[in-house]
Amino acid sequence: MTSIHPLQYLDPEGNKTQDLPNTCTSDWLLRCYHFMVLSRQFDTKAIALQRTGQLGTYASLLGSEAIDVPTALAMQKNDVLVPYYRNHACQITRGVPLEEVLLYWGGDERGNAAEKMQQDFPNAVPIATQSLHACGVASAFKIRNQKRAAVTLIGDGGTSKGDFMEALNVAGVWQLPVVFIINNNQWAISVPRHIQSAAAQLADKGLAAGIPSMQVDGNDPIAMQQAVQQALNRAYEGKGATLIEAISYRLSDHTTADDATRYRPSDELKVAWEKEPLKRLRNYLVSQQLWDESKEQALHEKISTLVQTAADKYVAMPPQPVSSMFDYLYFEPTEQLQEQRDWAEVRAMTGGSHYQEGESS
């Protein structure tokens, strides 16, 4: 079994539980806090847009900030992120513009096409499938002798799927430069962790594949930074894969289409909020005289403007032309598709059976 004490540097109140690593400079801490606040404000805005009919079903990132932000900060620009659908904090920290992230959740494939995504994968919606893509990306790095790593995240529910086990297995036996991060937020929609798996720790699943595996306090950004940085270094040095189980809590519903009050005890949520990641880092920053109330207010105002500007840009973005359904399926559309594209374009025209005002065809 893996260690029963998750790696931790800050307790829930933001007190040091051990000496901090040298890499956690005040610059890094402030940068990390900035992106955590940005992610959370983005989340609040996204939910507001969904509630007012301006965004599709949206998966909240609330409670994952201390996992995703340090992960993105630890990665090199040319590493590849292979996310599932709750990693927008990671995407935002890697530089994907907020309006592009909104565009994705607004039902528009262009949100997966952001230039800043470089070679990162789009969100995997089918559970656990992304774990294998990360292994394929990592195989390419290994074959080409590149010092790069693939980083992939998954929920606790996803670890029950075969794809995840097959990915761990091949990553172990081929010593692939990949970092697996489980966001164990205790809930897979309505199914709690204890009926998901009899494994004492989800990290134990990596051990069967011969992969160094560890539990980390997923509400502690410093612990996450350390764990991910070490895992990345192992990958760059050709030492193979690492599995990190980050213990966190899904402070939100599963998505905006879900109502967690149907299945989740409210006192459990209350306890979880006491351990939440932003407060923890902020308390520590204050204790180090790096932060105060006025800085907090200034940051919130700055970020609030950023988020609102992005939301405005997103809302103003016209839909794609109907032809885009056909144009990206293959490198070149087949004859059948060209014919059907013509039909769709005619139907989308003024007077056509699919005409919608304000849409270009």
Partner 1 sequence: MKHNVCLLEAVNLALASEMRRDEEIITLGEDIGVNGGVFRATDNLRDEFGVKRVMDTPLAETMIAGLSIGMASQGLKPIAEIQFMGFIFPALEQIICHAARIRNRTRGRLSCPLVIRAPFGGGIHAPEHHSESTEALLAHIPGLKVVIPSSPARAYGLLLAAIRDPDPVIFLEPKRIYRSQQQEIDDNAIALPIGRCFTLKEGSDITLVSWGAMISETLAAAEALADSNIKCEVIDVASVNPLDMETILSSVKKTGRLVIIHEAARSGGVGADISASVAENALLDLQAPIARVTGYDTIMPYFRLENHYLPNSQDIIDAVTQTMEFV
- Given 250, 280, 282, 284, which residue is catalytic? 250
* 283 within 8 A of 29, measured Cβ to Cβ: no
3-state secondary structure (DSSP) of residue 312: helix
3-state secondary structure (DSSP) of residue 216: strand
Q: How many whole angstroms separate alpha carbon 360 and alpha carbon 348?
A: 8
Residue with tokens 């995703």: 68
Nearest Cα to Cα of residue 125 among 138, 112, 136: 112
CA 161 to chain centre: 19
Which residues on adjacent β-strands are paired with residue 217?
247
> 110 vs 354, which CB is nearer to partner 1?
110
User: Least distance in Å: CB of 74 to partner 1?
Assistant: 21
> 176 vs 303, which CB is nearer to partner 1?
176
- Given 40, 86, 94, 254, which residue is catalytic? 254
> 86 vs 148, which CB is nearer to partner 1?
148
Site for partner 1, rule CB under 8 A: 80, 82, 109-110, 112-114, 117, 119, 121-122, 124-126, 129, 131-141, 143, 150, 162-163, 166-167, 169-170, 173, 324, 328-331, 334-336
User: Least distance in Å: CB of 121 to partner 1?
Assistant: 7
Residue 283 CB burial class (10 angstroms; 0-12, 13-18, ≥19) = middle
Q: How many whole angstroms separate alpha carbon 78 and alpha carbon 118?
A: 8
User: Least distance in Å: CB of 153 to partner 1?
Assistant: 15
51 carries an active-site annotation: no
Looking at residue 31, its amino acid is R
Residue 259 CB burial class (10 angstroms; 0-12, 13-18, ≥19) = exposed
> 123 vs 184, which CB is nearer to partner 1?
123
* Crossing angle for the helix pair 293-316 and 26-51, to the nearest 10 degrees: 40
Q: How many whole angstroms separate alpha carbon 315 and alpha carbon 318?
A: 8
User: Least distance in Å: CB of 109 to partner 1?
Assistant: 5
User: Least distance in Å: CB of 172 to partner 1?
Assistant: 10
> 23 vs 360, which CB is nearer to partner 1?
360
> 168 vs 303, which CB is nearer to partner 1?
168
User: Least distance in Å: CB of 38 to partner 1?
Assistant: 24
User: Least distance in Å: CB of 54 to partner 1?
Assistant: 22
> 21 vs 136, which CB is nearer to partner 1?
136
* 120 within 8 A of 68, measured Cβ to Cβ: no
Q: How many whole angstroms separate alpha carbon 289 and alpha carbon 139?
A: 45
Which residues on adjacent β-strands are paired with residue 181?
153, 244
Helix (H) or strand (E) holding 185: none
Q: How many whole angstroms separate alpha carbon 263 and alpha carbon 97?
A: 35
Known catalytic residues? Answer: 250, 254, 263
